[in-house]
Amino acid sequence: MAMAVAHHRESSSSGSIDKHLDSGKYVRYTAEQVEALERVYAECPKPSSLRRQQLIRECPILSNIEPKQIKVWFQNRRCREKQRKEASRLQTVNRKLTAMNKLLMEENDRLQKQVSQLVCENGYMRQQLQTTSAATTDASCDSVVTTPQHSMRDANNPAGLLSIAEETLTEFLSKATGTAVDWVQMPGMKPGPDSVGIFAISQSCSGVAARACGLVSLEPTKIAEILKDRPSWFRECRSLEVFTMFPAGNGGTIELVYTQTYAPTTLAPARDFWTLRYTTSLENGSLVVCERSLSGSGSGPNAAAAAQFVRAEMLPSGYLIRPCEGGGSIIHIVDHLNLEAWSVPEVLRPLYESSKVVAQKMTIAALRYIRQIAQETSGEVVYGLGRQPAVLRTFSQRLSRGFNDAVNGFNDDGWTVLNCDGAEDVIIAVNSTKNLSGTSNPASSLTFLGGILCAKASMLLQNVPPAVLVRFLREHRSEWADFNVDAYAAASLKAGSYAYPGMRPTRFTGSQIIMPLGHTIEHEEMLEVIRLEGHSLAQEDAFASRDIHLLQICSGIDENAVGACSELIFAPIDEMFPDDAPLVPSGFRIIPLDSKPGDKKDATTSNRTLDLTSGLEVGPPTTQGAGDASSSQNTRSVLTIAFQFPFDSNLQDNVAVMARQYVRSVISSVQRVAMAISPGMNPNVGSKLSPGSPEALTLAHWICQSYSYYLGSDLLRSDSLVGDSMLKSLWHHQDAILCCSLKSLPVFIFANQAGLDMLETTLVALQDITLDKIFDESGRKALCADFAKLMQQGYAYLPAGICMSTMGRHVSYEQAIAWKVLAAEDNTVHCLAFSFINWSFV
């Protein structure tokens, strides 16, 4: 075998040797024969190709070789090709592992230096405490990085700016790879083989800071180009303008940059930055983009442009990008900000004083976006409806940007607030110059005679998981939305179709179909199309479709994921869904507030300036002890709602009244849902299932007892019929078990986990689902045929059939059993129970 390998290395000059599979002998080929076989293989790699046989016959030099020998050569050729591909793949994996190992070793060295520094500081503090009664601090051991003042330097002098840039570079590198900041691991982001990167946040430093490092399969220049275009990946970046750019004399460039960011709520002003950005290369081949604020609040563009902003400070931050052998890069990201928390209401200050929030919104988002682009470039990402990833990404950005524009309502965008006396809970703003074009093409622009009207509000929620609330709003739109308002917004997107106040009456069928388009690499954000089914109530349009299509992004619905907020943003679109479709986004944003240590005050009374907070009481009244500050009752979040409505100029007042009433109705619905899904109201073991129903444990006992009484067998195992174990066993039963009331229109009052999964709903929304909604026509006929038997003998077997989930999906089941559930006290029929056996989605 060694001889064959050695000879194969010289195949280009003297031929090659292959082992015959049948005889075990080695066959020698000349260089000309090998070249001819390679040509045939290149043109026809498939073994069963008739074209290959034809090429072999037409090649005279192969005529003296037996067909079996040629077959063996092609088999060996395929094996060698597979081996080369596998070897190449393993080399790529090995390069990535080597780069990641190098990154981990550098991180370990940095941590060791940090430990040594902390030990030094600890020893110094001990010595000071022993020698003097007055505690003093040696500035040489202080790990806090302070911002040098540059007010004495001329910002218009290139030499002065170069000096600032070099200092910025030094301080940034000391944060990215050194111990200038006391970094601690980001909570909930443990590094591992499936992690996007290594994340850390600052501890006890001036401002708020976050750090990330990871491996990305893109070249350094491409990464720098992406990251410098901050509006493309940072959703809260409104604009970034480079006012001046000049060479630094060492191959780098210095830029003076003005950046505006959105405020996440209606309760605080937005931030802007006036910074110096320095791009250069290091001696080791690394590429660095570092940035810091220039001193002086009056610096930058004219005051009129920044009137609605609070000037924030960026301490030395940036990106260190090092190329890896064989392709790809190792990237270090540092974001260090002072967001001037003094200018916001006290209850919102955790958003502006938290390094964790900066990490979630900026640092982690940047690394995730680069990884997303890398996967799209390599072809690993597949999206729906034949759309290119860049197009879908643009749709997500436009939805988010349109919602942020509505929430902030900047004057230079054309927004003006209607008369507001300060007591209004809902803010009404009007924009008469709104351009809804998705492109710069005037032919595709959509103009309105009146403009866009926005109704928005913010409210404080207590003890409500943001992910659960947004997931409910997404899955059960009929619980809070008015179909006629959606129909009006959709119709307004068509030129000249303003219908308010004489909108055609339309009935919403209650069915919504979610069609996924794409998602980010960690599924933290989803882009989807929602179809709402409706039918006209007018007799002349009885058979006309009134379906509505919405383009929607949903993020932050995983309770276990680390995210800055949970969002549900949507906009009506035409069913043709063109790439340049105009969008008027509306939606919800819920941002969790991290409580400060020792903050024991109730969130609803901590600040009186919040809109709607006095009218929102979430969760049952409880009495907390003084030491129960960590209780879930203290978890707080801010909900921001913004809805936009196109209008004609002569209908502005009517649309304003409708918008205010509608948003108040949505707020009321959200409050009701929030109270129901708060942990204190969650229908777990021993709690109420619905008003007037028995407790869960009692109902579980009635269900099992009645099943045994009527069918003569046990629903659960005999060892599960004691105490709480009965309810738990019923809850986790493999069959879908549901109970409905005995009213003229039966509604469901209970379902186990399998039942909720089958209906794709929650215990809260279950009580709004009627029995007839889940069966198709044949299922309803079978139920009606056996209903008399069910009420007479107490049970009935229903044949296999199809039912419908609340999301519009079909569910098949092999058999269904229905039986009466008797109340133990007076032996009366409390409800009907159904068990769907071996169900599955079709």
1-5, 523-527, 637-641 — which is least confidently predicted?
1-5
Residue bearing the bigger pLDDT, 767 or 751: 751
Q: What is the mean pLDDT of residues 540-563?
A: 75
3-state secondary structure of 200: strand
Looking at mean pLDDT, say which of 23-32, 179-188, 441-450 comes out highest. 179-188
- Of 588, 586, 587, 584, the closest CA to residue 646 belongs to 584
Which region holds residue 708: left if phi is over 0, alpha if psi is between -120 and 50, else beta? alpha
Q: Is 548 exposed, middle or buried (0-12, 13-18, 19+ CB in 10 A)?
A: buried
pTM for the whole thing? 0.65
Segment 378-434, tens digit of pLDDT = 776 666 555 678 888 899 999 999 999 999 999 988 999 986 655 567 999 999 876
Looking at mean pLDDT, say which of 22-26, 183-187, 287-291 comes out highest. 287-291
d(CA 114, CA 183): 9
- Of 351, 392, 366, 141, the closest CA to residue 265 belongs to 351
d(CA 334, CA 395): 28
pLDDT exceeds cutoff 60 at 619: no
pLDDT exceeds cutoff 70 at 324: yes
pLDDT at 621: 34
pLDDT exceeds cutoff 70 at 12: no
Residue bearing the bigger pLDDT, 284 or 16: 284
* CA geometry: angle 171, 173, 177, nearest 5 deg: 130
Cβ-based neighbour number of residue 422 at 10 Å: 4
d(CA 215, CA 106): 13
Segment 692-733, tens digit of pLDDT = 344 677 888 889 989 988 988 888 876 656 666 788 888 889
Reported as type and span, the H/E element at residue 488 is helix 483-492
Q: What is the mean pLDDT of residues 771-781?
A: 82
Paired sense of beta strands 270-281 and 309-311, if any:
parallel
| Rounded-to-10 torsion of CA 136, 139, 144, 150 | 130
- DSSP type of residue 68: H
Burial 494-522 (b: 16+ CB within 10 A, else e): eeeebebeeeeebebebbbebeebbbbbb
pLDDT exceeds cutoff 50 at 813: yes
pLDDT exceeds cutoff 90 at 507: no
d(CA 468, CA 476): 12
Q: What is the mean pLDDT of residues 326-332?
A: 87
Report CA-CA distances (Å) from 694 to 151, 677, 691, 829: 72, 19, 9, 13
What is the distance of C-alpha 261 from the center of its chain? 20
Q: Is 625 exposed, middle or buried (0-12, 13-18, 19+ CB in 10 A)?
A: exposed
pLDDT at 627: 36
> Which DSSP string do the residues of 304-357 spell out, in sequence order?
TTTTTEEE-EE-SEEEEEEE-TTS-EEEEEEEEEE--GGGS-GGGHHHHS-HHH
In one-letter notation, the amino acid at residue 191 is P
- pLDDT category at 57 given cuts 50, 70, 90 is confident
- Per the structure block, which two tokens stand in for 202? 């600052």
Q: What is the mean pLDDT of residues 156-170?
A: 86
Burial 752-780 (b: 16+ CB within 10 A, else e): bebbbebbbbbbbbbbebebebbbeeebe
Mean residue pLDDT of the chain comes to 77
- pLDDT category at 164 given cuts 50, 70, 90 is very high
Query: How many Å from the N-terminal Cα to the C-terminal Cα in the chain?
Result: 55
pLDDT at 807: 74
Segment 64-84, tens digit of pLDDT = 777 777 777 777 787 888 888
pLDDT exceeds cutoff 50 at 174: yes
Residue with tokens 């049970």: 795
> Which DSSP string do the residues of 668-697 spell out, in sequence order?
HHHHHHHHHHSGGG---TTSBSSTTPPBHH
Residue bearing the bigger pLDDT, 378 or 334: 334
Q: What is the mean pLDDT of residues 599-603?
A: 37
